[in-house]
Structure 1
């Protein structure tokens, strides 16, 4: 069960915990009413926080009344219950942040045909449902190229947590980026089962480093800290994602596959407010919008490598190169 109780006015927001009977938020103010669901913590320094920033931007720029639920376990039944609780308050728009909400959003949107629903990083549609997707696989492909072009050991890593479609596409793109730049480089890839578990992520990263991985691409949320600790202790470098990690920990991060999922959330809100909401569509945002998707690189990256990355980025943005989004191969098991 999920519990929480909190009221809010136009400038406040509703925060619901992960273990309580969800109350209905009470919208009582003018302006569009937008409610969002985050299957994680909005201060995780990663994907969920990016989405929350997009929601706050909608409040600031669009004058929307906002409410949100955070900390919901990424289980279909819990996500469905949380979305249903938000919809019962009768907001104008409900946004589910993350592709793990695909099934829940599809089901709940059908129950509330008069409310608009959106899934960020999703691929579901319906008469009142749209998906808005930031193409993180495009920056992940560039990250793979960078890893292959700068590794000294010939072994690189990839780490993520739960197996959602955007994460799988990002992993596939990274591996193909490595292969495109240097097919002799070995890739160790792991989905640990948890985006936020620091002891687990540290253990996985340390095991990869023990297998000679000197650059690891981390698609994690709050669990990134454990991987950073392992890289620091093991002398490895890291490529981040979502935000620009090269300015957060420049001694560890050589690059970051920037993909601002908050832009997808804000775009959904903006389209709704401006009456062009993409009902029945999947709207995509890629490298042609560099404020949303790009590879940021540290100053230590050689100029010739940067040049190759920038050339490929231009080709992808122009549509002359399509990033592969599927991969099947042997995975790196969680260490005991």
Structure 2
């Protein structure tokens, strides 16, 4: 343990006192200029105006405000072997104290690589698993998705609403289930068309799904896509139907199409993992959750023309979720919409 800076020893002492970090965290390669090294993996593009960009913004905030040295890798395919290769590269190249895999789609890859590098701490954001050197940080986007479902059911004129996503990862599946439950709770007579197209970034595919759902009668579509979202939005614009977004404030961004957005700042999970590490609070084997009780992280944003009675209904439903009167569902067993 020779050659450690005073800052490293202080962090080690703080960690030993709280049980937050085991001594392997102090591996020589974990520090640069006395600061812990953190590496992050973003599958897809950090400029997708969606999930990956929100995660990257959380990482950039950590880099700008915390005493860490940050490295990242993006443009990696949403495929387990590609993710494993990318995580191994980050571990071998940067020898970080912590690696963050942004998104639950990285679960299998992170569990695999965490076993290979026991001296490195790993985090999965929007995850629900743990290991000896792995934790999950979960921003409960399913809670704002539930409210988005209720909102769609309250605002539809055709009695048919839709959901779109790309790949079937646990956070996306949970949010779809919650959206469906919100629709059903608000109006059990409203029909739901739900589709996972298989690709988060294909704009042409997203447009085709939108056209098919609109042809089937949907007048509001809840979209959980990355770059592919722009295909849905343009199709909605051309068809004269409305959209509900997720992750960021799409109402402010494109108010002519979006009537709501299920805000879920998934970048908070990335930032808090970095913050917990830099402040000596990081604990392996733990799942940290943030939900509607922290509106800066999770809330439903609605358009300014939303009728006041609907606003009051949504506020009451939010309170019921917080009190536990409404249980946000995590599984969907209904029909799937096929092209």
TM-score of the pair, normalised by structure 2: 0.89
Q: How does 1:297-308 map to 2 (within 5 A)?
A: 297-308=302-313
| Matching of residue 257 in structure 1 with residue 262 in structure 2 | yes
| Matching of residue 237 in structure 1 with residue 242 in structure 2 | yes
CA-CA distance at 1:319 after TM superposition: 3.3
| Matching of residue 173 in structure 1 with residue 173 in structure 2 | no
Q: Structure 1: state its 5+ residue gaps.
A: 1-24
| Matching of residue 80 in structure 1 with residue 84 in structure 2 | yes
Q: Tell me the equivalent position of 1:95.
A: 100
8 Å CA contact retained: 2:43, 2:52:
yes
2: CA distance, partners of 1:26 / 1:316: 41
CA-CA distance at 1:110 after TM superposition: 1.0
Q: Tell me the equivalent position of 2:332.
A: 327
| Matching of residue 132 in structure 1 with residue 137 in structure 2 | yes
CA-CA distance at 1:276 after TM superposition: 1.6
CA-CA distance at 1:63 after TM superposition: 2.4
2: CA distance, partners of 1:288 / 1:28: 37
- Secondary structure, aligned partner of 2:183: helix
8 Å CA contact retained: 1:35, 1:91:
yes
Deviating beyond 4 angstroms after TM superposition, the runs of 4 or more aligned structure 1 residues are 25-28
8 Å CA contact retained: 1:130, 1:281:
yes
CA-CA distance at 1:28 after TM superposition: 4.2
Q: Tell me the equivalent position of 1:63.
A: 67
CA-CA distance at 1:278 after TM superposition: 3.0
Q: Tell me the equivalent position of 1:247.
A: 252
Q: Tell me the equivalent position of 1:17.
A: none
- Secondary structure, aligned partner of 2:75: coil
Q: Tell me the equivalent position of 1:159.
A: 164
| Matching of residue 192 in structure 1 with residue 175 in structure 2 | no
CA-CA distance at 1:330 after TM superposition: 1.4
CA-CA distance at 1:29 after TM superposition: 3.4
- Secondary structure, aligned partner of 1:71: strand
Which of 14, 30, 33 lines up with 1:29 in the alignment? Answer: 33
Q: Structure 2: state its 5+ residue gaps.
A: 1-28
| Matching of residue 205 in structure 1 with residue 210 in structure 2 | yes
| Matching of residue 281 in structure 1 with residue 286 in structure 2 | yes
| Matching of residue 267 in structure 1 with residue 268 in structure 2 | no
CA-CA distance at 1:26 after TM superposition: 11
8 Å CA contact retained: 2:249, 2:261:
yes
Structure number with the bigger relative contact order (C-alpha 8 A, sep ≥ 6) is: 2
8 Å CA contact retained: 1:288, 1:318:
no
CA-CA distance at 1:27 after TM superposition: 7.2
Q: Tell me the equivalent position of 1:3.
A: none
1: CA distance, partners of 2:73 / 2:30: 13
1:249-291 alpha-carbon deviations (Å, 9 max, x no partner)? 1110000000111001111111111222131111111001111
Give the aligned length: 310
2: CA distance, partners of 1:40 / 1:302: 37
2: CA distance, partners of 1:316 / 1:278: 28
| Matching of residue 309 in structure 1 with residue 317 in structure 2 | no
CA-CA distance at 1:321 after TM superposition: 2.4
2: CA distance, partners of 1:221 / 1:167: 12
Which of 36, 48, 56 lines up with 1:44 in the alignment? Answer: 48
Which of 126, 143, 147 lines up with 2:148 in the alignment? Answer: 143
Q: Which has the larger helix fraction?
A: 2
1: CA distance, partners of 2:287 / 2:327: 18
8 Å CA contact retained: 2:30, 2:37:
no
